[in-house]
């Protein structure tokens, strides 16, 4: 029996741009860095924007605040990456953004590792949270380290009587986090110590799941190969409606971000064609 629909969260928040200042930065877990940012404009962000994506724009090494402010206004466009707002506190004009710590392998990770109070960064956003309707009988979440912020925010937005399962694949035992999920959502924390080696553990758990009755909604993100396998499993074998499956690849083993986006688009088109044939259009 389907649940009565809960009130959905508000839709697209008002987008802002800001020059944000670092309030504090440090290790949240063994391989995750949390950076707290502040800007006057953040007073206009609702707390419910947690889980929405944003663009961060990175200053060059040694660049002055005035020079970076001018670049944001007049160009050229700084190095820009997409991240998730983990928490928003409009009353203190602050947001938290969590970064996977992988040294200097990426410009955002390198910036976060060196971030100190008083540093600045450009901000644009937010996008809408990925889970905004709470009318399902069962919720399925899955994430690797890169997607813990979006999945954690989704879990914490659920009604307290929600039921479901959340799978987290982390690099070490020291990366487990405390997430305020409803008691009816079971959490599985898997250790995969080499993220650059393919893993099928998330897929195996979903394959073995005794499939629940009623409506199932998903929030799945992380390494594109894993996400693609889960999407095809859920929409093909399990027959979930496309509207109920959020499954987004954030990165791809062996590919830089620009290359990944091209491959991701091509694979998504091929998968939609394949699923259309399986599901009869």
For residue range 120-164, list pLDDT tens digits in order: 999 999 999 999 999 999 999 999 999 999 999 999 999 999 999
3-state SS, residue 27: strand
Least confident span in 93-97, 209-213, 261-265: 261-265
pLDDT tops 70 at residue 280: no
For residue range 25-67, list pLDDT tens digits in order: 999 999 999 999 999 999 999 999 999 999 999 999 999 999 9
Q: From CA 191, how far away is CA 205, in angstroms rounded?
A: 14
Q: From CA 146, how far away is CA 102, in angstroms rounded?
A: 11
Looking from the CA of 165 toward its CB, the CA atoms found within 13 Å total: 13
Would you state the structure tokens that stand for residue 239, as one six-digit string?
């027959």
Cα–Cα distances (Å) from 28 to 3, 31, 97, in that order, read 36, 8, 11
Would you state the structure tokens that stand for residue 146, as one six-digit string?
């890169």
Q: What is the pLDDT of residue 267?
A: 74
Instruction: Supply the pTM of this predicted model.
Output: 0.90
For residue range 56-99, list pLDDT tens digits in order: 999 999 999 999 999 999 999 999 999 999 999 999 999 999 99
Backbone angles phi, psi at 74, to 5 degrees: -115, -10
Q: Are 122 and 72 in contact, with CB atoms under 8 Å apart?
A: yes
Q: Who's near 72: CB < 8 A, 6+ residues apart? A: 17, 19, 57, 78, 122
In this structure, the dihedral spanned by the alpha carbons of residues 230, 233, 234 and 235, taken in order and rounded to 10 degrees, is: 120
Q: Are 164 and 184 in contact, with CB atoms under 8 Å apart?
A: yes
């Amino acid at each position: 029996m389907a649940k009565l629909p809960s009130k959905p969260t508000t839709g697209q928040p008002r987008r802002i741009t800001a020059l944000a200042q670092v309030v504090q930065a440090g290790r949240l877990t063994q391989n995750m860095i949390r950076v707290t940012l502040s800007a006057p404009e953040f007073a206009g962000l609702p707390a419910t924007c947690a889980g929405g994506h944003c663009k961060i724009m990175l200053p060059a090494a040694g660049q002055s605040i005035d020079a970076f402010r001018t670049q944001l206004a007049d160009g050229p466009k700084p190095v820009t990456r997409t991240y998730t707002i983990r928490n928003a506190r409009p009353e203190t004009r602050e947001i938290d953004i969590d970064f996977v710590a992988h040294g200097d392998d990426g410009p955002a990770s390198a910036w976060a590792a060196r971030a100190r109070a008083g540093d600045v960064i450009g901000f644009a956003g937010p996008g809408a949270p990925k889970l905004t309707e709470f009318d399902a009988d069962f919720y399925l979440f899955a994430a690797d380290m890169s997607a813990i912020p979006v999945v954690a925010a989704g879990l914490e937005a659920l009604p307290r009587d929600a039921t479901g399962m959340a799978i987290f694949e982390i690099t070490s035992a020291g990366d487990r986090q405390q997430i305020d999920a409803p008691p009816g959502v079971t959490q599985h924390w898997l250790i995969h110590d080499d993220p650059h080696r393919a893993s099928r553990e998330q897929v195996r758990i979903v394959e073995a799941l005794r499939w629940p009755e009623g409506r199932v909604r998903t929030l799945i993100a992380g390494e594109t190969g894993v996400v693609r396998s889960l999407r095809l499993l859920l929409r093909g074998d399990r027959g979930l409606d496309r509207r109920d499956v959020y499954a987004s690849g954030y990165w791809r083993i062996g590919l830089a971000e620009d290359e990944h986006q091209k491959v991701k688009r091509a694979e998504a088109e091929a998968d939609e064609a394949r699923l259309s044939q399986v599901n009869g259009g």
